[in-house]
Amino acid sequence: MSETEISTLGEFGLIDHLTKDLKNVNPSTLKGVGDDAAVLNYGDKQTLVTTDLLLEGIHFNLNYVALKHLGYKAAVVNFSDIYAMNGTPKQITVSLGISKRFTVEHIEELFSGIRAACEIYGVDIVGGDTSASVTGLIISITCIGEAQKDKIVYRNGAKNTDLICVSGDLGAAYMGLQLLERESRVAKEVKGFTPDFSGKEYILERQLKPEARRDIIEFLDDEGIVPTSMMDISDGLSSELIHICKQSNVGCRIYEERIPIDYQTAVMAEEFNMNLTTVALNGGEDYELLFTIPLTMHDRVNNLDNIKVIGHITAPELGYALITRDDTELELKAQGWNPLKD
Amino acid sequence: MSETEISTLGEFGLIDHLTKDLKNVNPSTLKGVGDDAAVLNYGDKQTLVTTDLLLEGIHFNLNYVALKHLGYKAAVVNFSDIYAMNGTPKQITVSLGISKRFTVEHIEELFSGIRAACEIYGVDIVGGDTSASVTGLIISITCIGEAQKDKIVYRNGAKNTDLICVSGDLGAAYMGLQLLERESRVAKEVKGFTPDFSGKEYILERQLKPEARRDIIEFLDDEGIVPTSMMDISDGLSSELIHICKQSNVGCRIYEERIPIDYQTAVMAEEFNMNLTTVALNGGEDYELLFTIPLTMHDRVNNLDNIKVIGHITAPELGYALITRDDTELELKAQGWNPLKD
C-alpha cells in the first residue's frame, strides 16, 4: 500500500478524492455531496434519522479490525436502526476525525467499506465532514431513511399477550470479540504467533462484518405483518427487551431454551468458561431484530428458520422474567454493554 | 458546580437526564429522541441535511471557551449551513464523545448551550448518541432542514455579471481567536494575570458565540430575492468564493475597499501587525452569507446596512481577481483555515 500523507490533499482534496465517483441511486436524493447541505425529497413518505458515533479505543481496535470492515460495520449499524423502525435506509452522511498516523490510503480503505455497505443496501452517501483529530480515528455516521406513515414501528407498542420474536441468533458477535481480543493479547506476547481461526469464521464475521436484517423487514412486509414494537439488538437482548417493556408499559416472559444460539457461539463460550445464556442475553452487537407481534400471528412465524418466538408480553406487574431450562423464574436485568463505564 | 461522574448515570441515564424535558416545536418532528430513529415528515417540502464534527484540541480549546458557548456554536454552525441553502433548520441530532475528565454537570452546560441555540432558532433535538472517549470532547451534530423546492440555492448557479454580496462583516471571529489565544498564553506565563477584554467584546462574541444569518434569509424572502448561488463563510471569503466560482464555472472580481470590516477587527489586526485584508479574506468562522444575485437587483441591496456588494461575477477565463485599494489586480487564493494541515 502506498502512503500519501493526508495533508498533501487537504480537507477539500480528501473529500473530492473520496467522493468524486459517487453515484446516487435513490430518487429521493436530489443533491448529494458538494454543497452546504444535501437535498432530499420524501414526498408523502416519512423521514427517519439515526446517528452513531464510533471511537477508536472505545468501539473498535485497529489491531484486529481491518479498516474496510470497520467502514462496512459503521454504515450497517446505522442501516440496522432504520430497519428497526420498519423503514428503508436511503442516505448517509459520514464525518471522520483522522489522526496523523492515518494516510490517504487508510481512509480510502475505510471509505471503501462504507461504500460497499451502501451499494449492497442501496444507500447514497450525501455529505459529511472531515477533520484532523488529536488521537485516533473518529467515525460519525447519520442515516436518513423513509417509511410509510402507517408502517413505522416504535418501541412503545407492545401489548399484553404479544409474542416476542428475535431474528437470527444471539451472542455470536460478542464471542467473536472475545476470541479476537484473546488472540491479539497472545500475538503481543508470543513472537511469530499466527492465530488459527478455522471453524470460528461465523463468530468472527458476526463481530467484524455484521449485516442489517433487511431480509426480515422485507419478509414481514411480504407477509403483511406489522410488528407492534421493534428494536435492533445492539446492546444485548435483555437491555433492548427491557427498553421495549418500559416504553410500552408491559412486562415480559422469555424462555431460556428458546433463545437462538449458533453452535460456534456455544463452543466458544465453553472454551472461555462463560455462561452461554448470559452471553446471548447481554453480549451485544448482534444487530438482530427484536420485535413483538399479536398472538394471533403465531402460526405465521412459528416455523421459520430465521425468526424465533422466544416468549410473550405480560401485564406490567409481572415484571421482566426469564424462565430457565429447569423452570426457575429469574428477573431479567439490563447488563448490556455500557460504553460510559470502565 | 457539583460533580457527578458520568458513569453513575450510564449512557441511557445520561441521555434521559439531558433530554427528559425536551419539547418539540416543529410539526415536521413526528417522533424525536427515544427510538431507533427520529421520524420526520416534510410533506411536499424538500429536506436538507448537513453535519459537522468538532474536536477538542482541533476546533476548540476549553482553556478559553465555555462549554455553554461551545454547545451554542456547535449548533449554530449547522443552522448556518441550512440557511446557506436558503432553507430553515428544523431538527438536529447530537452525538457526544466524552472523556473521563468531564462530569455530568459539564455535559449539562454543553447541552444547555445547544438547547439555547435550538430555542432561539426554533429547532428540535431529535436524537443522538453518547459514548466514552479516550481523550477529549467530541461533538458531532447533524442538522435537518426544509426548503421550498424552487427556492433552494446551490453553489453552482452564479452567472456572469451577477453581483457578489456578503452579509455583516468579516475577519472578526479570527481576530477574536488571536486575542483569546494570546491572553491564554500570557495567563499561563504570568501568575495572577487577568485579561482585559473591554472594547473587544464584539470580536470575542464573533468567535465565541456566532449567530447564523436567519435575518438575511428572511429579508431576501420578504424582498422576493432568490440568490443565484449562496454559501456560508466558514473557511474564509476567498476559499468560499472560489468554491462558488469553480462550481458555477465562472470568474469573479472583488474590490478590497468594499470588503466589510468592523472597527474592532481593524484595531486588533493592527495590534497584531496583521494585514487586515488578509484577515478578512482568509480568517474563517465568520458564518456570514456569501451570495450572488442578478445585476438587475443592484438597487434592492445597495443601501442596506447588513448586506454589502463586494464585486461581480465574470467570465471564467478572467479568473479570480481582487482589486486592491491602489487599483492593482491580484489573484484571489484560497488560504482558508485547513484543519488537516498543521
Question: Which of helix, strand or coil describes residue A111?
Answer: helix
Cross-chain Cβ contact A135/B134 below 8 Å: yes
pLDDT band at A319 (very low <50, low <70, confident <90, very high): very high
Best B61, B93, B96, B142 residue to mutate vs chain A (most A CBs within 10 Å): B142
Chain A residue numbers with beta carbons less than 8 Å from the beta carbon of B98 are 340
Phi, psi of B341 (to 5 degrees): -100, 165
**Burial code of B127-164, b = ≥16 C-beta within 10 A, e = fewer?**
bbbbbbbebbbbbbbbbbbbbeeeebbbbbbbeeebbb
From the list B97, B136, B338, the residue facing A10 with the nearest CB is B338
Tell me the average pLDDT across B222-232.
Answer: 95
Residues of chain B with Cβ-Cβ distance to A87 below 8 Å are 37
pLDDT at A341: 46
Q: Can you tell me the mean pLDDT for A282-294?
A: 96
pTM: 0.91
> Any bridge partners for residue B125, and if so which?
B92
Q: Which residues contact B191 (CB under 8 A, 6 or more apart)?
A: none
CA distance B31 to B35: 8
A342: confidence class by pLDDT, cuts 50, 70, 90: very low
Most B CBs within 10 Å, among A45, A51, A153, to test the B interface: A51
Using the beta-carbon criterion (under 8 Å), do B131 and A340 form an inter-chain contact?
Answer: yes
In terms of Cα–Cα distance, which of B131, B174, B139, B161 is closest to B264?
B174
Contact criterion met (CB < 8 Å) for B49 and A38: yes
By percentage, how much of chain B surpasses pLDDT 70?
A: 97
**What percentage of chain A carries pLDDT values higher than 90?**
72
CB-based contact A127 B51, cutoff 8 Å: yes
Distance CA A133, CA B140 (A): 13
Query: Residue A43 and residue B44: Cβ atoms within 8 Å?
Result: yes
* Cα three-residue angle A215-A219-A224, rounded to 5 degrees: 150
Say yes or no for a CB contact (<8 Å) between B155 and A338: no
ipTM reported for the complex, 2 dp: 0.89
The answer to whether A85 contacts B144, with C-beta atoms less than 8 Å apart, is no
Between A and B, how many residue pairs show a Cβ–Cβ distance under 8 A? 230
* pLDDT for position B9: 79
Q: Which of A46, A47, A129 sits opposite B52 (nearest CB)?
A: A129
* A10: nearest CA partner in chain B: B340
Exposure string of A245-259, with b = 16+ CB inside 10 Å and e = fewer, is bebbebbbbbbbeeb
pLDDT at A13 over 80: no
Residue A338 pLDDT > 60: no
Check: CB of residue A287 under 8 Å from CB of residue A232. yes
- Pick A85's closest partner by Cβ from B9, B36, B154: B36
- Window A:83-102, CB contacts with B under 8 Å: 84-85, 87, 91, 93, 95-98
Task: Tell me the C-alpha to C-alpha distance, in Å, between residue B98 and each of A86, B20, B110, B138.
Answer: 31, 20, 11, 7
- Mean pLDDT in residue range A253-282: 96
Residues of chain A positioned with their CB less than 8 A from the CB of B38: 48-50
Cβ distance of B49 and A30 shorter than 8 Å: no
Question: In 10 A of CB A169, how many CB atoms?
Answer: 21
The whole-number average pLDDT for the span B252-279 is 97
Give the residue-averaged pLDDT of B300-309: 91
For residue A114, give the nearest of A88, A83, A78 by alpha carbon.
A78
